[in-house]
Each structure stands twice: as C-alpha cells, then as structure tokens.
Amino acid sequence: MDNTTNKASQTERERMAAGLWYDANFDEELRALREAAKDLAAEFSATPLAQAERRDDILHRLIGSIGDGCEILPPLYVDYGTNISIGQGTFINHGAYLMDCAPIVIGGSCFIGPYFGAYTAQHPLVAEQRNTGLERALPITIGDNCWLGASVTIMPGVTIGEGCVIAAGSLVTHDIPAGSIAMGSPARVVRAITDDDRIER
C-alpha cells in the first residue's frame, strides 16, 4: 500500500494519535469522545469531596492511567482523559486543564499548583486552514518529583525533567533539564537545584 492510500484510509483519531494534522473540530468520533470525557470531568468536579470512593471511581474511568495516592482537586478539565497518565502520589490543585489530544505523562510525587495548563494542540498559522478545524498534537512529559507553581502553562512537545521546580506564572515552551529551577515567559533555566537548597528544621 502506498503512502497516499494509507493516509486516505486513516481515521481522524488515528491521525491525531500519529501526530499528524487531523480534523479536530468536525470529526464526529472525536467530538463524541470529547463530550463523554467532559461529562465525566464535570461529574467529578461536582462530586463532594466527602464522597471519596465515587470521586476515585470517576477518575479511574476518566484518566487513562492514574497511580495510587493521587489527589486531584476540582474543577478538572480534559479533552479525552484517556491520553493522560499520572504517577502515584501526585497532587494537582484546583482548575487544571489537561488538553490531552496527544499523551500527557505526569510522573509520580509531583506537586502541581492551581490553574495548571498542559496544552498539546497546535493550529495552522494560516487562518484559511485554521478555520477548517485542522490541528495536530505533540506530547507533554513531566518527570517525577516536580513542583509546578500556580498558573504554569506548558506548550506542545515539551519535556520537563525529573525534580524540576517551575515558578508560578511561567510559560514553558522548551524542554527543561532535570533538577532545574526555571521561570519566566518564556521560561528560562535560572540554575540547578543543589544540596545548598536543603532546609533545616
């Protein structure tokens, strides 16, 4: 089978998963998946904190993979949910939006502040093409033991290494190496985290 035939036979969902340009706005299969995920996310967000078992059940139906001991505070927003993986013991504060058109992998023991945004989607720069609903998505990865302050935004294709601290309000447009402190818009590495940063009590 030649490439032309192969491309023609792919569904929009398959094109999305392959990181190709796909019809994000008007494809009925993708629209139905998003609506189902957003309904589950809304149900989770409306469930009282005291109903821990119900909240946990909803999260396990919504999120592709979620480790033990995770805590996510409402409201939570997703696109599909199934493309999200969260390691054990991670905490995500109120108002997170995980736009998981491509995989979003969050490691274990991460501490993520309120109004966190992880955005995998890209749109065409030419308005005529953008208006047709085209989009492509690139994965986002956050290593174990990261602390992301309030209102951190991560853009498509970014990897944040293990043990990083990202300052509140930062816009992360490029990879951040493990063990770094980064801040700003766009975020820049300001220094490495060292033993001198250990606190005494």
Band (pLDDT 50/70/90 cuts) for residue 18 is very high
pLDDT at 8: 66
87 Cβ contact partners less than 8 Å away, ≥ 6 residues apart:
67, 70, 106, 107, 108, 109, 110, 144
Average pLDDT over residues 120-141: 96
Interval 143-162 mean pLDDT:
98
pLDDT single digits (tens) 101-117: 999 999 999 999 999 99
Q: pLDDT confidence of 7, banded at 50, 70, 90?
A: low
pLDDT higher than 80, residue 1: no
Q: Which percentage of the chain shows pLDDT scores above 70?
A: 96
> Would you say residue 61 has pLDDT above 60?
yes
184 φ/ψ sector (left φ>0, alpha ψ -120 to 50, else beta):
left
- Which position among 60, 94, 123, 174 bears the catalytic label? 123
Would residue 94 show up in a list of annotated catalytic residues for this protein? no
Q: Find the mean pLDDT for residues 37-43.
A: 97
The CATH number of 10-197 is: 2.160.10.10
Banded pLDDT at 2 (limits 50, 70, 90): very low
Query: What mean pLDDT is predicted for residues 160-165?
Result: 98
Q: SS3 for 33-76, per residue?
A: HHHHHHHHHHHHHHCCCCCHHHHHHHHHHHCCEECCCCEECCCE
What is the per-residue pLDDT for 9? Answer: 86
Q: Is the pLDDT of residue 178 over 50?
A: yes
Mean pLDDT of the chain: 95
Least confident window among 7-16, 60-69, 170-179: 7-16
CB 106 within 8 A of CB 122: no
What would the pLDDT profile of 67-107 be if each residue is shown by its tens digit? Answer: 999 999 999 999 999 999 999 999 999 999 999 999 999 99
Q: What's the Rg (C-alpha) of the chain?
A: 18
pLDDT at 6 over 70: no
- Cα(108)–Cα(70) distance, integer angstroms: 9
* Residue 112 DSSP label: E
